[in-house]
């Protein structure tokens, strides 16, 4: 009986996807009215109804699916969104529809027809409520609220649970969430660092909510403690709980919403781990403003006079750039020794004091590869909480092509033809090139270049 039910479900999904691919709006609407859960179901290679409709230019089906709340940011096995597919196949009217923001506006920056770019670690799930950080009474009240959510960190790693039902290492990874009763003893310990993250964002109020005042949404905190990690894990009732050992890899397994929360929490906690003492006079400091300020305990310290950036969490700006060959059909990628075999990525480097983004791009490219760069164009950015960087993604056009690698920075750099990049990016072709994972801004810059006219 179970196998028959499963087959019926599969048949329904196949019928729904086929209707979307054919542009049969009537059947799509009927199926959705009876089985709303079909909306984000996928078939071969992870293609959803939205992707199939976008591929075949069925504007009204795309419009209907969006009106039903389908996920336009989901990707297929080739890491393509419906927007990417529509743009690749020349359906501009559909790509324009898919590029609209939630309020119906479009991005109209000159020289760019990017859809709203949302890189991994960038999604703002919580309203940060920065105005509440100085309200000690409100923060203390929220700490003991039974609906408040706490995240536990050990050595800057969040406690997570993993689902490995399919027997593979690629199961779902989720943040472990705790309530006040489970962590209140940790809040009393002097070494505990508590960070206010914000409140869950409300959805647009319904007509019933406008009549009755809705309850305040739950707030979130992050806790960093020096308690033994094994003891902390005993507090969790979920299965397969752990603290990731390799954050550069393991944190990329979170969903988009939780990744954004971790980016905020981990970056602030990393700052606290490095600023226990005042950088100005060396005295001890105390935590203030919900974890977003540290004040020196030495009353004579000059950091207490005026505004000093040593008192607030820092963000390190990094340029990361895809350099395009003058012929427009090759891009420059480099690799470090620590990269997996065959992986090449965009060049990157920290912006120096008194330096613009454009000049940092030109300097870093020339230092690492010997290639000189002319025009530079900003594309998008990505928070990178390892420990607290802001990756500023750019495209740049080379004005020289000879490569001279600085082996202190990278071990190799090459010009890769567009077709080879396409084969690696969309077709999973193995060989001399493996691109970075889709969660990285380097991957997104490469995808952007493939989908655009090469002339900036």
State residue 84's pLDDT score.
81
Q: Which residue in 322, 324, 288, 328 sits closest to 304, CA to CA?
A: 288
Contacts of 138 (CB under 8 A, 6+ apart): 132
- Final residue of a structural domain among 223, 250, 274: 274
Question: Is the per-residue pLDDT at 2 higher than 50?
Answer: no
- Cα 339 from Cα 346, distance rounded (Å): 12
Give the tens place of pLDDT for each residue, 152-184: 999 999 999 987 654 345 567 999 999 999 999
State residue 113's pLDDT score.
45
State residue 272's pLDDT score.
94
Burial class (CB in 10 A: 0-12, 13-18, 19+), 417: middle
What are the backbone dihedrals phi and psi of residue 361, each rounded to the nearest 5 degrees, phi first? -60, -50
Q: For residue 425, is it within any domain? A: yes
Whichever domain contains 178, its CATH number is 3.90.79
Q: Same domain, yes or no, for 320 and 437?
A: yes
What are the backbone dihedrals phi and psi of residue 398, each rounded to the nearest 5 degrees, phi first? -75, 145
Give the tens place of pLDDT for each residue, 29-47: 999 999 999 999 999 888 9
Give the mean pLDDT of 18-24.
95
pTM over 0.85: no
Q: Same domain, yes or no, for 202 and 152?
A: yes
Q: Which residue in 156, 178, 348 sits closest to 263, CA to CA?
A: 156
pLDDT tier for residue 423 given thresholds of 50, 70 and 90: confident
Q: For residue 183, is it within any domain? A: yes
Lowest mean pLDDT among 2-6, 441-445, 446-450: 2-6
Residue with tokens 């003058």: 326
Whichever domain contains 348, its CATH number is 3.90.79.10
Question: Is the per-residue pLDDT at 430 higher than 50?
Answer: yes
Lowest mean pLDDT among 43-52, 235-244, 303-312, 334-343: 303-312
Give the mean pLDDT of 378-391.
95
Q: Same domain, yes or no, for 153 and 50?
A: no
| Percent with pLDDT over 70 in the chain | 88
State residue 205's pLDDT score.
54
pLDDT tier for residue 105 given thresholds of 50, 70 and 90: very low
Contact between residue 428 and residue 78 where contact means Cβ atoms under 8 Å apart: yes
Q: Same domain, yes or no, for 384 and 246?
A: no
Q: For residue 162, is it within any domain? A: yes
Give the tens place of pLDDT for each residue, 319-375: 999 999 998 889 999 999 999 999 999 999 999 999 999 999 999 999 999 999 999
Question: Is the per-residue pLDDT at 439 higher than 70?
Answer: yes
Quickly count: other Cβ atoms within 10 Å of residue 146's Cβ: 8
Structural domain of 331? 316-450
Mean pLDDT of the chain: 87
Q: For residue 175, is it within any domain? A: yes
Q: Same domain, yes or no, for 144 and 8?
A: no
Q: For residue 290, is it within any domain? A: no
Q: Same domain, yes or no, for 132 and 225?
A: yes
Q: Same domain, yes or no, for 91 and 165?
A: no
Question: Is the per-residue pLDDT at 102 higher than 60?
Answer: no
State residue 174's pLDDT score.
94
Q: Same domain, yes or no, for 339 and 268?
A: no
- Final residue of a structural domain among 222, 242, 274: 274
Q: Same domain, yes or no, for 322 and 244?
A: no
pLDDT tier for residue 212 given thresholds of 50, 70 and 90: very low
Q: Which residue in 79, 106, 76 sits closest to 92, CA to CA?
A: 106
Residue with tokens 């950080």: 133
Q: Same domain, yes or no, for 199 and 265?
A: yes
Contact between residue 319 and residue 360 where contact means Cβ atoms under 8 Å apart: yes
Q: How many domains does the chain have?
A: 3
Q: For residue 121, is it within any domain? A: no
Q: Which residue in 306, 307, 257, 291 sits closest to 130, CA to CA?
A: 291
Q: Which residue in 158, 275, 161, 274 sits closest to 223, CA to CA?
A: 158
Q: For residue 105, is it within any domain? A: no
pLDDT tier for residue 286 given thresholds of 50, 70 and 90: very high
């Amino acid at each position: 009986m179970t196998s028959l039910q499963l087959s019926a479900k599969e048949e329904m999904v196949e019928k729904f996807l086929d209707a979307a691919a054919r542009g049969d709006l009537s059947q799509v609407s009927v199926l959705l009215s009876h089985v709303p859960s079909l909306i984000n179901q996928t078939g071969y290679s992870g293609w959803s109804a939205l992707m199939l409709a976008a591929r075949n230019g069925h504007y009204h089906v795309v419009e209907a699916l969006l009106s039903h709340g389908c996920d336009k940011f989901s990707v297929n096995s080739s890491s393509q969104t419906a927007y990417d597919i529509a743009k690749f196949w020349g359906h501009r009217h559909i790509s324009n529809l898919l590029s609209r923001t939630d309020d119906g506006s479009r991005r109209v920056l000159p020289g760019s027809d990017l859809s709203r770019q949302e890189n991994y670690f960038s999604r703002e799930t919580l309203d940060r409520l920065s105005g509440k950080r100085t309200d000690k009474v409100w923060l203390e009240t929220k700490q003991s609220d039974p609906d408040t959510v706490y995240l536990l960190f050990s050595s800057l790693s969040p406690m997570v649970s993993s689902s490995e039902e399919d027997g593979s290492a690629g199961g779902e990874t989720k943040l472990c969430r705790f309530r006040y009763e489970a962590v209140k003893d940790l809040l009393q310990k002097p070494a505990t660092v508590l960070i206010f993250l914000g409140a869950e964002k409300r959805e647009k109020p319904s007509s019933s909510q406008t009549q009755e005042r809705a309850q305040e949404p739950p707030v979130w905190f992050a806790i960093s403690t020096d308690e033994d990690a094994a003891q902390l894990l005993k507090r969790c009732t979920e299965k397969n709980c752990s603290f990731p050992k390799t954050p550069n890899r393991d944190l990329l397994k979170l969903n988009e919403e939780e990744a954004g929360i971790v980016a905020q929490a981990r970056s602030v906690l990393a700052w606290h781990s490095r600023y226990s003492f005042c950088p100005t006079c060396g005295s001890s400091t105390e935590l203030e403003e919900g974890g977003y300020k540290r004040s020196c305990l030495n009353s004579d310290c000059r950091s207490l006079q005026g505004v000093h950036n040593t008192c607030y969490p820092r963000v390190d700006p990094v340029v990361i750039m895809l350099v395009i060959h003058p012929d427009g059909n090759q891009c420059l990628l480099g690799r470090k020794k620590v990269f997996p075999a065959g992986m090449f990525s965009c060049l990157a480097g920290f912006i120096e004091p008194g330096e613009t983004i454009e000049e940092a791009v030109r300097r870093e490219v020339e230092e690492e590869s010997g290639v000189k760069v002319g025009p530079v164009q900003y594309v998008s950015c990505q928070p990178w909480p390892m420990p607290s960087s802001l990756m500023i993604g750019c495209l740049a056009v080379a004005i020289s092509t000879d490569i001279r690698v600085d082996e202190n920075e990278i071990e190799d750099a090459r010009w890769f033809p567009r077709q080879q990049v396409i084969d690696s990016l969309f077709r999973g072709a193995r060989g001399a090139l493996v691109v970075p994972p889709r969660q990285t801004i380097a991957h997104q810059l490469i995808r952007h270049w493939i989908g655009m006219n090469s002339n900036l």
